[in-house]
Chains A and B, each alone.
Chain A
Amino acid sequence: MEPRRPPRTVSDPKVRQVGFVTPAAAPPARTVSDTAAMPAAGASQELPLSGSSLSPVMIPPPRHDGLSARVTAPVPVPIAATALRLDNLQIRVGSYNQSEVLLGTPPMTSPSSRVEDAVSEFSDDVSASSLYGRTEPDKVGTAFPGRSGDLMPAKSVVAGGSIGGSHTPENPPTTSLVVKTLPGITEKKRGMLEKQHDEAAAPKPLKEKTTKAERRALQEAQRAAKSAAKEGGGADPTNTKKDKVVKPTPQKKDVPEVAASSGKKVDRPLEKERKKEVLPLRMQFDDKHKVEKVKQRAIVNQREAKSRVEFFQRLPQYVHGTQLQELEAKFFQLDAVHPSVYKVGLHHLSGKITGGNARCIAMLLAFKEAIKDYSTPPEKALVRDLNAKISGFVSFLIECRPLSISMGNAIKFLKNRIAKLPLSMSELDAKASIQSDIDRFINQKIIIADKVIVRHAFAKIRDGDVLLTYGLSSVVEMILVYAHEHKKKFRIVIVDSRPKHEGQILLRRLVAKGLNCTYTHINAISYIMHEVTRVFLGAASVLSNGTVYSRVGTACVAMVAKAYRVPVLICCEAYKFHERVQLDSICFNELGDPDAILKVPTHVESYLYGCMDNDNLQLLNLNYDATPSDYVSMIITDYGMLPPTSVPVIMREYDPQNLWI
């Protein structure tokens, strides 16, 4: 039992990344110990790959039994893809987590189930801690008083194994239990399990079903125990006890029932507590109370989006269709919003300005304009009043479209600058100083940064290269044009995707400049990747674990490139870096216009015409995805070319808050 746990924690990339450990340093140390323990796991060099098998858009398992069928319905493809790709990888790579297989490690080690843990953890207590993969040992202890003895060794092993020591993304008890009940499962079975993983209706072997039920029951019990511990007694302890009584005797009919019922009972108090105790990082749009509150503050009444996809309910739903009209109608009613800010907001909303840099520049210029027209009201301090005013602008912009990370960083910078203005400074000077700050920010952080990136990237382009890019990235465009102007001989493959077809804009500009281009859609990516020698991608942000947050589809391109051993170079200005750690693209994302994916330009009428109002149809148009750092060969920033693991270093050494002053 004890030796089986380490490989899990080891093979989990999250641990490494969170702890800021370079892959070169940490895993081998641990894999050595693993291999020592289990001789069969010879080829553990490929271990990082197992981590990379996390799909960028990861689908968590259903939270409630009743909902499961509906939940999985709208996004069946990624699940299948995960499983399939996993099989492929196993076949191709061969060495990929063979150790686990041979050891008969339970299905918990399979990526999708790992995701389940992580996500269900996340959905339980939305707190920041779970987001960052920290599970407090105390909590776990209280949740499983009976098993604490079992757990102790596991914990110690984990602590010894991981360098950070404190970060263990998964709660050991789950593992231990499953290991017990499911010893020795063959690889085939596991594959099947994965495929059927979320399809509650599909027929399954008895054993697996019980495991799943058990797992769920266990989770419910955890929740119950947690809530009980927090509430300090009452009716809940009995509840948890019941669960525990039921749990060890897995009768396949009883267990799901209990799990479901306990889940329903326990979930509500938990939610309340969550609101009280934990400040969520962001607005949760599936939280009715909060939504009500926000609505009261909102400028326009946002209508409910009709078909929400379950996983993404907590994200702001796309309401462009109605919102634009309503915002426009209220044009003259918005006292607090400066005209230039208003214009930028409308541009964001209507999609006239897109892209992280352009949106950020437009916003900053609008702020600059607003500051120019600003005058401090009597008996108020400029520092406070202006900051409040900027906050008003920002909330207006958020209402138009969720902020991009670049904008968030710029706002942070601006507010910081305003707050640090000396009180004694005259209003004119203060305004001039802020305006020049804004100019400097745009100039240094975006324009000059872009130029530096172009120079760096230029060094990576050789004659005869075939460069692939995805979508439309302003920096990549500059790089390509620059390289062309400097007489590099290369060919470009522009990969595009529906529904935005941004690549066409790039294609037109490049073709007009006389560059040799190939245009294809992302469906053909695996075909076209044969001939590609470099992949240049833009990014909306790079997170501190090296994850690249970018236009949806980027992860796919990067993954295919990795499979074909083509280096993936991400071009991203350092001001877009964010200290957040994000493991998937579910927890933060932006929803696009769901109707956009319905429209097929070649057909006068969509095949789905008339289906839009059907309750069974849910449309999901994601704007971003997260590319795990394993797929990224290099990040080109204004501070040079870095491996993705060095992002935290940049963030630490060149801390924006200090550097920008």
Chain B
Amino acid sequence: MTRMDFEVVVLAGGASSNLSPLVSQELPKALLPVANRPVLSYVLELLEGSNLKDLIVVVEGEDAAQLVGGWISGAYADRLHVEVAAVPEGVGTAGALRSISSYLTANDVLIVSGDLVTDVPPGAIAATHRRHGAVVTTLLCSSPVSGPSDSGTSGGKEKAKKPVRHNIIGLDPTRQYLLHMATGAEVEKDIRLQKRILQAVGQMEIRADLMDAHLYAFKRTVLQDILDQKDKFQSIRQDILPYLIRTQLSSEVSGNGLVSSESGSNKSAVQDELRWLSQHREIAPSTFQDSQPLSLKSQRDDQRSHKCCVYIANESKYCARLNSIQAFSDINRDVIGEASHLSGYSFSAQNNIIHPSAELGSKTTVGPQCMLAEGSKLGDKCSVKRSVIGRHCRIGSNVKIVNSVVMNHVTIDDGCSIQGSVICSNVQLQERVVLKDCQVGAGYIVTSGSEHKSESLARK
């Protein structure tokens, strides 16, 4: 039996276009290193920490699926029981779910985005979902402070260069129910609210400071129904969730009917009476029922409504999605910085991580909140601040690296200065290169003496 009747689906995505040039054929999004660990490992370890060991990981694209599958079987061979499913590219999150939905059997499904880095216990969302008997419960967290400028772009990868928006989220006064959600592009337009919902609740709180963390708990039957009936739905975030929110007072996917058909048809009159009785006495905190003008009406509505709930993560919890280059830098910085408990490394007294096999030249300083993986060599008089340096990098003398991420097998020659940049694997920076806020794609060679600012450099 699945744990607590929950199944877990991790949507690990594929080659995400708004993360280029960081991602490539060889490096799908799920394997992007965050503090020298694939970003997917954060989700997997979060789930493992919650005792969820049977997972389904969905990856877009066969090649990416093989890469991810290979990495998982290597890293989690005896710890997790993971099934990696490959789906065609470009089907979207809903499409990905559709292709595996026939494998789902448990009562509820927990859907986690593979690019989530958080320490919010997934159990909390699941329990909230269970407690309310909701059809969908979503995790909301406060938008990152440093503001990944395009965190709002919904659905992630399909909409690459959409303008940057935050979510607009409508909650009921108790902050338990999700009444409205405007995703990225819609924010700019006027907000259109449903009168019925507003009437039912009486009061709605509109929040712009919350972010959908792409961690959902769905009622399985409802999810499957929607996936079957609405075959145009592409994304959970843009199609399924708004649909459920929109129809929560006039539900076509009546939860009750599904449940009864689910749990066997041999319902005797007595049992029906029992259910009625316990329902009749249930004193719901929901403003839905209490503020309905007529109780008769509300009772009828009760049959036809479903609940969309939210779990709002505590301010103190870390929660971020790796869906942009800015977010990539931020998360890397945070994981070895303020959210260091997520990294799983033990920090030295200087508040940094230097692998014992790393070599430092004389007068080289590695500041706090830095990470130096194994086999990397730094020359003399280097200075590293708030940066992550991957494995087997060769860094010459007089190199300054600030606020940057350097992946594996990077060669940096003498006199380079790197600031706020991301350097992918196998890049070579020749002498006296100056990079500021740049991204350098894998295998690129930056010629000596060149200066770049806010550029994206990649092999054509």
Contact = CB atoms under 8 A, between A and B. Distances in A.
B145 interface: no
Interface in A315-347: 325, 327-335, 339, 342-343, 346-347
Interface residues of B, number: 34
Contact of A331 (B124, B277, B284, B290): B124
Contacts of A373: 1
Interface string B41-83: 0000000001110000000000000000000000000000000
Interface string A635-657: 00000000000000000000000
B261 interface: no
A447 B274 contact: yes
A37 to B, nearest CB: 55
B126 interface: yes
A443 B4 contact: no
A353 B294 contact: no
- Would you call the interface of chain B mostly helix, strand, loop, or mixed? helix
A351 interface: yes
Contacts of B288: none
Interface string B120-131: 011110111011
Given A439-B270, A447-B273, A508-B295, A332 B281 contact: no
A332 B126 contact: yes
A327 B121 CA distance: 11
A352 B277 contact: no
Given A331-B126, A439-B270, A512-B295, A346 B50 contact: no
Interface string A488-520: 000000000000001001001100100000000
A352 B124 CA distance: 17
B274 A343 contact: no
B175 interface: no
Nearest to B314: A325
A365 B272 CA distance: 12
A509 B295 contact: yes
A332 B123 contact: yes
A134 B165 CA distance: 74
A309 interface: no
B6 interface: yes
Interface in B285-334: 285, 290, 294-296
Given A329-B121, A342-B130, A442-B274, A350 B285 contact: yes
A422 to B, nearest CB: 26
B285 A512 contact: no
Contacts of A508: 290, 295
Contacts of B128: 328
B3 interface: yes
B333 to A, nearest CB: 26
B253 to A, nearest CB: 21
Contacts of A98: none
A333 B1 contact: no
Nearest to A350: B131
B190 interface: no
Given A332-B122, A332-B123, A346-B130, A353 B3 contact: no
Contacts of B51: 332-333, 335
Interface in A563-585: none
Interface string B1-14: 10111100000000
Contacts of B50: 331-333
B282 interface: yes
Contacts of A362: 278
- Would you call the interface of chain A mostly helix, strand, loop, or mixed? helix
A331 B127 contact: yes
Interface in A347-385: 347, 350-355, 357-358, 361-362, 365, 373
A346 B283 contact: no
A373 B127 CA distance: 20
B294 A512 contact: yes
A447 B277 CA distance: 8
Contacts of B1: 373
A352 B131 CA distance: 9
Interface centre among A335, A339, A346, A352 (most CB of B within 10 A): A339
Contact of A333 (B6, B123, B273, B296): B123
A201 to B, nearest CB: 44
Contact of B283 (A325, A332, A354): A354
Given A342-B4, A443-B270, A353 B278 contact: yes
Contacts of A447: 270, 273-274, 277
Contact of B4 (A331, A350, A439): A331
Interface in B241-297: 270-271, 273-274, 277-278, 280-285, 290, 294-296
Interface string A612-640: 00000000000000000000000000000
A332 B3 contact: yes
Interface centre among A328, A343, A353 (most CB of B within 10 A): A328
Interface centre among B6, B127, B295 (most CB of A within 10 A): B127
A353 B284 CA distance: 8
Contacts of A68: none
Given A339-B130, A442-B274, A508-B295, A328 B124 contact: yes
B278 A512 contact: no
A3 to B, nearest CB: 55
B274 A327 contact: no
A284 interface: no
Given A339-B4, A342-B4, A328 B127 contact: yes
Interface string A439-450: 100110011000
Contacts of B3: 332
A439 B123 CA distance: 31
Interface in B10-30: none
B281 A358 contact: yes
A135 interface: no
A354 B281 CA distance: 8
Given A442-B274, A447-B274, A352 B127 contact: no
Contact of B124 (A329, A350, A355, A474): A329
Contacts of B274: 361, 365, 439, 442-443, 447
Contacts of B271: 439
Interface in B117-142: 121-124, 126-128, 130-131
A332 B5 CA distance: 10
A502 B271 CA distance: 27
B442 to A, nearest CB: 37
Contacts of B5: 339
B295 A361 contact: no
Given A332-B51, A365-B274, A447-B273, A342 B282 contact: no
A546 B386 CA distance: 73
B377 to A, nearest CB: 43
A352 B282 CA distance: 6
Given A447-B273, A512-B295, A330 B283 contact: no
A361 B277 contact: yes
B314 to A, nearest CB: 8
A474 B277 CA distance: 9
A-B pairs, 10 with minimum CB distance: A331-B123, A328-B127, A358-B281, A331-B127, A329-B121, A512-B295, A332-B50, A346-B131, A328-B124, A332-B123
Interface of B: 1, 3-6, 50-52, 107, 121-124, 126-128, 130-131, 270-271, 273-274, 277-278, 280-285, 290, 294-296
Interface of A: 325, 327-335, 339, 342-343, 346-347, 350-355, 357-358, 361-362, 365, 373, 439, 442-443, 446-447, 472, 474, 502, 505, 508-509, 512
26 contacts: A328-B128, A328-B131, A329-B124, A329-B127, A330-B123, A331-B50, A331-B121, A331-B122, A331-B130, A332-B4, A332-B122, A342-B127, A343-B130, A350-B131, A352-B283, A352-B284, A355-B281, A355-B283, A357-B277, A358-B278, A358-B282, A361-B278, A361-B281, A365-B278, A442-B274, A447-B277
Given A333-B50, A353-B281, 10 more contacts: A329-B124, A331-B121, A332-B50, A332-B123, A335-B51, A358-B277, A358-B281, A358-B282, A361-B277, A447-B277
